[in-house]
């Protein structure tokens, strides 16, 4: 059964503004399935996983596009990068025809690819200004529960209104950690694939198809070891020199590997909020895995019960919250880096998340339990920015929104995205 994706509306909206759209995302998050669902009745479809089609696309891009014509969905287009130049030529020709005839413009090509490193540069070089970009990730909390998602907004009045009509039911902490352990990969969530075998194959495929071309062959085992070490550091500050030493590689190599993971959509780097106020702000980003199931697999955690009792359970809970908000914003075609930050200074005062919107700051703490009032103790440090500081949130396992005092509120993790 097809699970409706929140990002469908963004794809349709972007398709109205560009003759071509590209959908980026990690492997197996449902890009091809979603595109097929949206365009199956009006677009042709071809996958370059097919060896015959790929051979023609590589050897003769013009003949390939002549044979399929547009509108056309091309899956795994990074396997024939010369197609991008031919697509550019055809878009430019068609634009002139539309201009001469005064016809309405329409979407010509939808392209997808799992290896963003190979695809991104080609699009930047060939299709700049002609192609709308969509980032797609695994299932979010509302998608898993098959309820309509709404754009996350930390304003308490909006959250209280939404709580009243939310179709998401309360989940205990044990149930939340079941969700964290499972993650958001469609095949795992829908139980098409055995979780353990799935992630083993996923890591192997990722290394073989996406990473092998970008690192030295002799470094594959080192890269796998690096993935496992990194999983144990999810939600922590990223200090390249320390991590490089622990992984047995130089800092330059480590930075390249982090870049590969970030570009691939495997990890997310949360930047500190600077605003040019103080040089006492810690400048290192925090790193989060975008699929908690993959992170738990790499950390060799055997089940959700062990994960909940694990010494890093708080880090996994925070990773889950951040990944849900990142997926939510991306599903509405917003860049999370425009909204999400964290705060930490050299006095060790830290706030897990800052949601910055309309030049106002919403401080957010993330706690896996039901937490005492002291969770908001650092919110006052934000006064130095001379910006409106709005209501703060403590996202935890409470059953409903509750006032803490001083304009701050407990917010239930199970309501994220609704």
**Span 328-358, pLDDT tens digits:** 999 999 999 999 999 998 888 999 999 999 9
| Predicted TM-score of the model (pTM) | 0.93
Half-sphere CA count of 231, side-chain side, radius 13 A: 19
- Residue 195 and residue 294: Cα distance in Å, rounded? 10
Among candidate residues 326, 371, 342, 367, the one with its CA nearest the CA of residue 141? 326
Q: Cis before residue 219, ω within 30 degrees of 0?
A: no
* 167-223 tens-digit pLDDT: 999 999 999 999 999 999 999 999 888 899 999 998 988 776 777 777 765 677 888
- Residue 406 and residue 413: Cα distance in Å, rounded? 21
- Residue 148 and residue 162: Cα distance in Å, rounded? 12
How many CB atoms lie under 10 A from the CB of residue 117? 16
Which spans in 265-412 are helix H? 292-298, 304-309, 313-331
Please measure the distance between the N-terminal and C-terminal CA atoms of the chain and give it in whole angstroms: 22
How many CB atoms lie under 10 A from the CB of residue 11? 22
Task: Give the model's pLDDT for residue 390.
Answer: 95
* 94-144 tens-digit pLDDT: 999 998 888 888 999 999 887 777 777 778 788 888 899 999 999 999 999
Q: Is the pLDDT of residue 278 over 70?
A: no
- Residue 330 and residue 328: Cα distance in Å, rounded? 5
């Amino acid at each position: 059964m097809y699970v409706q994706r929140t990002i469908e509306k963004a794809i349709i909206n972007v398709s109205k503004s560009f003759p071509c759209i590209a959908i980026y995302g990690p492997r197996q998050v449902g890009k091809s399935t979603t595109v097929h669902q949206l365009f199956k009745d009006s677009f042709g479809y071809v996958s370059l996983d097919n060896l015959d089609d790929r051979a023609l696309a590589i050897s003769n891009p013009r003949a390939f596009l002549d044979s399929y014509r547009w509108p056309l969905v091309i899956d795994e287009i990074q396997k024939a990068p010369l197609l991008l130049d031919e697509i550019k030529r055809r878009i430019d020709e068609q634009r002139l025809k539309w201009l001469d005839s005064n016809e309405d413009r329409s979407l010509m090509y939808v392209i997808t690819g799992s290896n963003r490193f190979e695809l991104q540069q080609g699009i930047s070089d060939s299709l700049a200004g002609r192609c709308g970009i969509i980032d797609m990730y695994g299932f979010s909390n509302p998608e898993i529960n098959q309820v309509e998602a709404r754009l996350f907004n930390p304003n308490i009045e909006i959250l209280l209104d939404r709580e009243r009509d939310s179709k998401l039911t309360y989940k205990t902490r044990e149930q939340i950690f079941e969700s964290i352990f499972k993650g958001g990969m469609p095949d795992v969530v829908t139980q098409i694939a055995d979780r353990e075998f799935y992630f083993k194959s996923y890591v192997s495929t990722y290394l073989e198809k996406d990473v092998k071309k970008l690192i030295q062959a002799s470094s594959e085992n080192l890269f796998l070891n690096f993935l496992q070490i990194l999983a144990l550091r999810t939600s922590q500050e990223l200090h390249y020199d320390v991590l490089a030493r622990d992984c047995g590689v130089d800092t330059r190599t480590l930075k390249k590997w982090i870049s590969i993971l970030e570009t691939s959509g495997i990890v997310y780097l949360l930047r500190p909020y600077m605003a040019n106020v103080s040089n006492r702000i810690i400048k290192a980003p925090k790193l989060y895995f975008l699929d908690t199931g993959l992170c738990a697999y790499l950390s060799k955690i055997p089940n959700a019960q062990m994960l909940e009792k694990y010494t890093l359970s708080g880090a996994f809970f925070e990773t889950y919250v951040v990944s849900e908000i990142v997926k939510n914003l991306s599903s509405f075609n917003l860049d999370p880096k425009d909204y999400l930050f964290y705060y930490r200074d050299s006095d060790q005062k830290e706030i897990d998340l800052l949601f910055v919107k309309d030049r106002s700051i919403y401080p957010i703490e993330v706690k896996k339990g039901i937490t005492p009032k002291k969770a908001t103790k650092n919110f006052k440090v934000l006064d130095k920015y001379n910006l409106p500081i709005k209501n703060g949130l403590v996202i935890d396992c409470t059953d409903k929104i509750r006032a803490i005092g001083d304009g701050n509120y407990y917010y239930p993790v199970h309501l994220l995205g609704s």
